[in-house]
């Protein structure tokens, strides 16, 4: 970032009335249940309405979708005046694309608005028809947007705003080439809004290449450890993790819970074991058909599904406010993934609780998580679930010093002043 690209601190608005929004938008916000803007909304909306490129750093669950959708909806030309897309919103997953599309339609109430979702795993012929019939806003995944660019079915000459949502996640999973092609095909004088939970070097380099002196706002400084989320950990032997999970679910009686596993095979295996005792249980991972994933998420939103066993495919961007518990059955290798997993609960100020299972030898992962969120997790226990401690050998003679028993769960915790 150059010297002009500095972080800006703005006074936070306590009311949407102070954000210079149209009466139609204020009525839509009231109907949708919005009472006052979240920090990212209060800071990003005025900048976006003024035409600035903006880099917004904020966790999921803080209202980012409305933050970039409101300025776009406020400035759209009608479909009669312009039948080609005016805004393109790029997101990492199909589920997030659907969610963003629904949120935009909810905020567009009162004004006819054509929103088209372009994501893989969906009928491309239907998408082609929708684009041909006219679209004002396109929401899509990088791969499918790139596919439509190659087919020349997605016309970008009238695009004046591009949004990169969850930019760090998209770069993590290898979408940089597709994102760059999308940006190069859009007019150079467009507005670009980049939203990301973290700002690693890869995101900063992308911004330097494709954004014009962006304003940077950071709403993550006080949000890495969400105050409304209790965060606990258990130490447990590998072969007792399933028993611990069953005991934990019995103790907690969660309204709805997501249990995170590291692999797709492990997810299926745990789901099969859990479903023997919990009927309202399902699995979700990247190998499942899109129709099945949609059905699972729909059941979760409706409340008929109580326990979802999943990989990190739902670690970001899935906004379901009724998730009361998160269980990291497998500890995430990356501390940022922990932040996003835990962010599935405690949505928009609701209470939530998260549990992480730590097996012997994973103390460094726990330390990394605590350093990342700048908070010590609370040690929890359930009787009979602690890993067995090794018994020290008796010294062979009175004069021999007994060997130290190095506890594999011992970890270093940085003291914070």
Q: What is the pLDDT of residue 412?
A: 37
Highest mean pLDDT among 16-25, 52-61, 238-247: 238-247
Q: What is the pLDDT of residue 317?
A: 55
* 164 pLDDT above the threshold of 70: yes
The pair of structure tokens assigned to 266 is: 């492990």
Residue-wise pLDDT tens digits, 252-296? 999 999 999 999 999 999 999 999 988 899 999 888 887 888 888
* Other residues' Cβ atoms within 10 Å of the Cβ of residue 304: 10
- The average pLDDT across 166-184 equals 91
pLDDT, mean over the chain: 85
Q: What is the pLDDT of residue 388?
A: 67
How is domain 229-379 classified at the CATH fold level?
Answer: Rossmann fold (3.40.50)
Residue-wise pLDDT tens digits, 59-95? 766 789 999 999 999 999 999 899 999 999 999 988 8
Residue-wise pLDDT tens digits, 183-238? 999 999 999 999 998 888 999 999 999 999 999 998 875 444 455 689 999 999 99
Does the model's pTM come out above 0.95?
no
Q: What is the pLDDT of residue 86?
A: 97
Structural domain spans, the chain: 16-218, 229-379
Alpha-carbon dihedral of residues 148, 154, 156, 162, nearest 10 degrees?
Answer: -60
Could you write out the three-class secondary structure of the chain?
CCCCCCECCCCCCCCHHHHCCCHHHHHHHHHCCCCCCCHHHHHHHHHHHCCCCEEEECCCCCCHHHHHHHHHHHHCCCCCCCCCCCEEEECCCHHHHHHHHHHHHHHCCCCCCCEEEECCCCCHHHHHHHHHHCCCEEEECHHHHHHHHHHCCCCCCCCCEEEECCHHHHHHCCCHHHHHHHHHHCCCCCEEEEEECCCCHHHHHHHHHHCCCCEEEECCCCCCCCCCEEEEEEECCHHHHHHHHHHHHHHHCCCCEEEECCCHHHHHHHHHHHCCCCCCEEEECCCCCHHHHHHHHHHHHHCCCCEEEECHHHCCCCCCCCCCEEEECCCCCCHHHHHHHHCCCCHHHCCEEEEEEECCCCHHHHHHHHHHHCCCCEECCCCCCCCCCCCCCCCCCCCCCCCCCCCCCCCCCCCCC
Q: What is the pLDDT of residue 415?
A: 31
* 160 pLDDT above the threshold of 90: yes
CATH of domain 16-218: 3.40.50.300
* 122 pLDDT above the threshold of 60: yes
CB 316 within 8 A of CB 92: yes
The pair of structure tokens assigned to 316 is: 């970001």
pLDDT tier, 129 (very low <50, low <70, confident <90, very high otherwise): very high
Which of 191, 216, 201, 229 has the alpha carbon at shortest distance from 58?
Answer: 216
Alpha-carbon dihedral of residues 52, 206, 69, 98, nearest 10 degrees?
Answer: 170
- The average pLDDT across 330-352 equals 78
- The average pLDDT across 114-133 equals 93
Report the alpha-carbon distance of residue 219 to residue 386 in Å, rounded.
38
Q: What is the pLDDT of residue 154?
A: 97
Report the alpha-carbon distance of residue 177 to residue 181 in Å, rounded.
6
- The average pLDDT across 365-390 equals 82
16-218 and 229-379 have identical folds: yes
Range in 221-225, 403-407, 413-417 with the lowest mean pLDDT: 413-417
Q: Regarding predicted confidence, which is higher, 103 or 169? A: 103
The pair of structure tokens assigned to 403 is: 């060997």
The pair of structure tokens assigned to 363 is: 């103390």
Q: What is the pLDDT of residue 398?
A: 42
Report the alpha-carbon distance of residue 205 to residue 385 in Å, rounded.
47
Q: What is the pLDDT of residue 35?
A: 86
* 410 pLDDT above the threshold of 50: no
CB 99 within 8 A of CB 65: yes
- The average pLDDT across 306-330 equals 83
């Amino acid at each position: 970032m150059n010297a002009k690209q500095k972080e800006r601190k703005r006074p936070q608005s306590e009311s949407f009335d102070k954000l210079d929004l149209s009466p139609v938008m204020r009525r839509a916000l009231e109907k949708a249940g919005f009472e006052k803007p979240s920090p990212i909304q209060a800071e990003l909306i005025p900048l976006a309405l003024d035409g600035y490129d903006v880099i917004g750093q904020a966790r999921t669950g803080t209202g980012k979708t409305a933050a970039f959708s409101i300025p776009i909806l406020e400035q759209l030309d009608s479909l009669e005046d312009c039948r080609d897309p005016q805004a393109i919103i790029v997101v990492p997953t199909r589920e997030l694309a659907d969610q963003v599309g629904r949120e935009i339609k909810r905020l567009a109430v009162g004004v006819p608005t054509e929103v088209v979702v372009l994501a893989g795993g969906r009928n491309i012929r239907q998408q082609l028809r929708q684009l041909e019939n006219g679209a004002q806003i396109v929401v899509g995944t990088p791969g499918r947007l790139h596919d439509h660019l190659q087919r020349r079915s997605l016309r970008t000459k009238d695009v004046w705003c591009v949004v990169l949502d969850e930019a760090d996640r998209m770069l993590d999973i290898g979408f940089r080439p597709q994102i760059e092609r999308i940006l190069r095909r859009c007019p150079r004088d467009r507005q670009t809004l980049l939203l990301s939970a973290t700002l690693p070097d890869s995101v900063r380099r992308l911004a330097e290449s494709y954004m014009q002196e962006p304003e940077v706002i950071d709403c993550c400084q006080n949000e890495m450890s969400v105050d409304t989320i209790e965060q606990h950990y258990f130490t447990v032997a590998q072969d007792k993790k399933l028993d611990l999970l069953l005991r934990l679910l019995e103790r907690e009686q969660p309204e709805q819970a997501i249990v995170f596993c590291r692999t797709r095979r492990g997810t299926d295996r745990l789901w099969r074991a859990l479903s023997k005792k919990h009927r309202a249980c399902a699995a979700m991972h990247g190998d499942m058909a899109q129709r099945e994933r949609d059905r699972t998420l729909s059941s979760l939103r409706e409340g008929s599904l109580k326990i979802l066993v999943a990989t990190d495919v739902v670690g970001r961007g899935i906004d379901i406010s009724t998730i009361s518990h998160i269980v990291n059955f497998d500890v995430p290798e990356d501390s940022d993934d922990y932040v996003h997993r835990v962010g599935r609960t405690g949505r928009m100020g609701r209470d939530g609780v998260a549990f992480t299972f730590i097996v012997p030898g994973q103390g460094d992962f726990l330390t990394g998580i605590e350093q990342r969120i700048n908070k010590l997790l609370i040690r929890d226990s359930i009787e009979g679930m602690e890993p067995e401690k090794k018994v020290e050998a008796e010294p062979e003679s009175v004069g021999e010093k007994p060997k130290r028993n190095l506890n594999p769960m011992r970890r270093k915790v940085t003291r914070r002043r």
